[in-house]
Amino acid sequence: MIQKVAIVGGTHGNELLGVYLVKKWQEFPELLHRESLECVALISNPAAVAINQRYVDRDLNRCFATNDLANQNLTSYEDQRAKEIAMQLGPKEQPLADVILDLHTTTSNMGISLLPSSKHPFNLRLAAYLHSLYPDIKICFGLQHGQNAPMLRSLSPLGYTIEVGPIAQGVLNADLFQQTEQLVHEILNYVDATNQGNPLSEAAVVTVYQAIANVDYPRDAAGELRGMVHPQLQFQDYEPLHPGQPMFLTFTGEEILYAGEAVVYPVFINEAAYYEKQIAIVLTEKQQIDLEKE
């Protein structure tokens, strides 16, 4: 039985949708009330929220690797904050929060995307149920998932990072705010119904996108950008990219084509926060998972 759900916002301080949803629920906790659940709402990086920046010292959502949480020599603000959150919601081997929902926004055209903590059957069945309610929702597994991942979601095997976009950094969007709020309520309804022995029906098969590679922008020997995402690829998240189709356009007008042998589905295309991570595009494979076999 799932007893506690943690809803987290502000892991990146300039992603305001999660920040203000969490602040709303902190002010009106009765909105999260479900008969069988304890729900908590948490601002994870308050110092970054206060200055409207992604982070203070380093990306908080890369500070939750098991070894890093145990390393007392890591003393940046975010490393210390990660250890505090792990004490509140973790530890990974026996988390105090059964389900974690970490709310994020992206500048990429990804709509509402669910990045599960793991391929646990609960996550897949919940994803299938949510997709039946909202057919445009996408389910995406990152290159790093499971409890060895450095993301906040890894504190529990159950739950998701919820990515919503496109939204500019430091900006709110009322329509996506309301959609995300409703999505969280449907997740709580699903968990509550399951706890009470009345599981809500879901599809037998769920479509997921599994990340297989990160691709950087064209760069010169000094690491300077020499190109950008091709206009034909911009905003085409989750759309098929075929071998020979353009990926990048150099500043001198040269097209750089996708040289792979198989069709892939790019996500996080031209994400603003990923320039520093040297990621222009995340390539995924489209897969079907039969829930009856999980």
Is pLDDT above 80 for 33?
yes
Give which of 167, 277, 166, 268 is closest to 209, Cα–Cα. Answer: 268
- Do residues 25 and 146 both lie within one domain? yes
Nearest alpha carbon to residue 118 among 82, 144, 85, 91: 144
Do 190 and 221 sit in the same domain of this protein?
no
The pLDDT, as a whole number, for residue 199 is 83
Residue 294 pLDDT class (50, 70, 90 cuts)? low
**245 and 152, same domain (yes or no):** no
Given pLDDT bands bounded at 50, 70 and 90, which one contains residue 139?
A: very high
In a domain, 294, yes or no: no
Residue 201's pLDDT band (cuts 50, 70, 90): confident
The conformation of residue 221, written as its DSSP 8-state character, comes to T
Q: Which of 40-44, 199-203, 288-292 has the highest mean pLDDT?
A: 40-44
Confidence of residue 194 (pLDDT cuts 50, 70, 90): very high
The average confidence (pLDDT) of the chain is: 96
DSSP string, 102-154: EEEE-SSS-EEEEEESS--HHHHHHHHHHHHH-TT-EEEE-SS-STTSSSGGG
Give the up-direction half-sphere exposure of residue 41: CA atoms within 13 A in the CB hemisphere.
Answer: 22
Instruction: Mark whether 262 and 225 lie in a shared domain.
Output: yes
Range 235-263 average pLDDT:
98
Count of the separate structural domains present in the chain: 2
If asked whether residues 108 and 249 sit together in one domain, one would say no
Do residues 179 and 277 both lie within one domain?
Answer: no
- 293 pLDDT higher than 80: no
Rounded Cα–Cα distance for residues 276 and 63 (Å): 16
Show the domain range for 245.
212-281
d(CA 117, CA 150): 11
| 207 C-beta neighbours (distance < 10 Å), count | 14
Q: Which segment of 9-18, 141-150, 265-274 scores lowest on mean pLDDT?
A: 141-150
Mean pLDDT to the nearest integer, 39-63 = 98
Do residues 177 and 87 both lie within one domain?
Answer: yes
Tell me, yes or no, whether 293 lies in a domain: no
CA dist list (Å): 50 to 13, 58, 109: 7, 15, 27
Answer with the one of 150, 174, 203 that is the final residue of a domain: 203
Does 146 have pLDDT greater than 80? no
292 found inside a domain: no
